[in-house]
Structure 1
Amino acid sequence: MKLEIGNFHVEDIVFGEKTEFAQGILTINKKEALDFVLEDKHIIEADLFIVKPGDNVRLMPVKEAIEPRVKLNGDSLFPGYTGDLVKAGNGRTHALKDCSLLVVGKHWGGFQDGLIDMSGEGAKYTYYSQLKNIVLVADTDEEFEKREQQKKNKALREAGHKLAEFIGSVVKDLEPEEIEEYELKPVIKREKRVNELPSMVFVMQPQSQMEELGYNTFLYGWDMNRMLPTFMHPNEVLDGALVSGSFMPCSSKWSTYEFQNNPTIKRLYKEHGKTINFLGIIMSNLNVALEQKNRAALFVAQIAKSIGADGAIVAEEGYGNPDADFTACIVALEDAGVKVVGLTNECTGRDGQSQPLVSMDEKADAIVSCGNVSELITLPPMETVIGELESLGRDGVSGGWENDEILGPSVRSDGSIIMENNAMFCGDQVCGWSPKTMIEF
């Protein structure tokens, strides 16, 4: 399976008469793009903005991030979700780099939504402050969930995924500045020198705990709550097989952009044939009942052992209840003779002194921490707020609150805020981007 990603580096984004890409400038016809979005009868109001690194802008509630792309063979960008079910990971895909499409609620936030600051102290907490962003701000007719703490955000998420492909289509017939190639030979048909290297597998645990369908990560359009661990080619992940869910507290979230650009996968590819034999991905899940968690862990270990893995990286999307899946998976792999490094954030409380993971084991002895979800963050007012800042305290956003007897409200009268890291959009970057480190005492 060979995937080529043709990159077009975006130096600036502007609104103009024609949607096009030329000489590093992405121009968007705003009316044309909004007319496309409003073709969905569930989107009742929409607007587009452009925000760039350094702008005095705060976005809230942010629901999703997607890299604008297009597939040259005409397949949908997210097969099984935005179009027909076909295989991802083959052929040529063109991508607009150094930018993303962000989806922001015009009013209503929820447990799973987050905040982005494009400048100042808050900018260091999220990867998306570094990107030039097209921001879709919209409202829907989904009256049944507007005041619900937990939202599927179905119409808004789908609008973002479709708009990312609509905008990405401007580079379909252009020649890219560079082409990334991703190819792995079948596991049992690799050269002797590659097979003699330590064999590594990447175990991914996207969020899939909600038993009601529609909240969880989608795999080829299939709600991952309804699946068992399975072996996948890494190209599928990089090429649109997965779409981010709408469930986990936001700092723990893996956006669709992070599936499309997963840095752990890319680093494993870089080392393949040099220091390791990269076998592929074991796509696992996160469960509710203990029996489900243990069953998934057994499946992961069985697959890893059967394909000859010497080592594994295990990464979880979330914390708390998912820690039990994370730890069980590590223990099962270690028991099978597979050495493991784990990637996760932790919940050590506002004072940093609580137990970091809900479930712990002596065999989980190599874990990379991506940050404390409970760390308190105080941020000054921003000149411009896109969306509705009040949702941070009003709508049950993880990391925000309406009032605290000691700290007061999350959103203060002058527009400054105090919140937990929980509310920072994809802030812990467990996908492999996290810049956080530990303070030595």
Structure 2
Amino acid sequence: MRYLPSSPVEDRALLDTIGVARAEELLAGIPEALRLKRDLDLPTQGSEQEVAWEMMGLANKNTRFCAQFLGAGAYDHFVPSAIDAMVSRQEWFTAYTPYQPEISQGTLQHIFEYQTLICDLAGLDVTNASLYDGGTACVETALMAVRVAKKRNTVLVSRGLHPLYREVLKTNFAPHDDLQLVEVGLKNGVTDLADLQAKLNGDVAAVMVGYPNFLGAVEDLTALAGPVHAAGALLVSVTQEALAFGWLEAPGKAGADMACGEAMSFGNKPTFGGPFLGFLAVKDAHKREIPGRVVGQTKDLEGRTGYVLTLTAREQHIRRDKATSNICSNQGLVALRANIFLQLAGPEGLRGLAEQNAAKAQYLRQRLLELPDMEPVDDPPFFNEFVLRYRGDMAALQEACLAESLLPGLDLGRFYPEYEGCILWCATELHTRRMIESLVEILARVPATV
């Protein structure tokens, strides 16, 4: 945050310049009856140090966890301090969205680089500037798929897709009477291929599956792509944990026609639930239907490299009722952090981080299964999340963990009745062996089921 001092002398000069005697006169447009006639119930003044102490006191009322084993769409990863330093550089700042390239070269450059990185990770040709979050990225991708697959009005959605993403899809599809969402069931933690084949017909525009899915399982996109493409539909992968791209085959190379999801794991913290960073990548043939904007690289008349808005649908700004999408902005700062993170890590660094996540999740699962009340559920390949059934008292488990400042995994019964009594556990590179051992020791003390 910038420090902008304002002394009484400077305030007086400002008022004199605009010809106003008192600051209160600036409120003349507000009816008298609506104005507050008293001071706000706040301390009249305080030094910077006193204010800092007050804010610290408020912050200390929050629960602080020494270890978190909860993922489910928001993941805690290490963020290098270089990112905070680099995002504050002035070339990334602009007073407005980048319609005027001559004054927005820094912003356009980092968006172009972000797009290039997402295309590399997704194994696809074109991506847009960015989207609000994984849920709205799902919506934009589904609607785009319907536009691409003309005369088809149905989107099949795997039950393994993030349940909140599915709710966002339902909400946004509801106003469209001609569009249908149909759920495909699960078998052994992944999309049921037989159920999928039974529901594929000439009305299906696209099939959306998690990669990895909400239960942490890695879907076999290649196996799914065969019947989906044979039915003339598009295969869409949805990735809620983008760090998995360092471990898994790029979805575009595994048969996906479109890839979307959440990329906040790259250089961003899940602070109080956000901000998030939706991404969407497609094949070149579909680029004309992509929402938002696409930044391109070019040369000016003197041969210098420059960046411009290559593709943006103008009706999104002036004819909103006929717009293909109303995504008119991008998560600029969050995308910039992801850009810097990926360039600092590089391909080898990203792969190394992903390997750590996978290895620590394997170790966490192994140690938890040594407890008498933990049982395996299904056995699909997974990245850094997995499901175990807990035969003990779920409330007692959660209470024991919270008492030791540990955040346990997600009780899946909240979203999946068939997984009642199951917990979705997560491990990342931030989990040490000591943290995992502490969790196991705490759970071992929870009273056994009577």
> Normalised by the size of structure 2, how large is the TM-score?
0.22
Bigger share in helix:
2
Bigger share in strand:
1
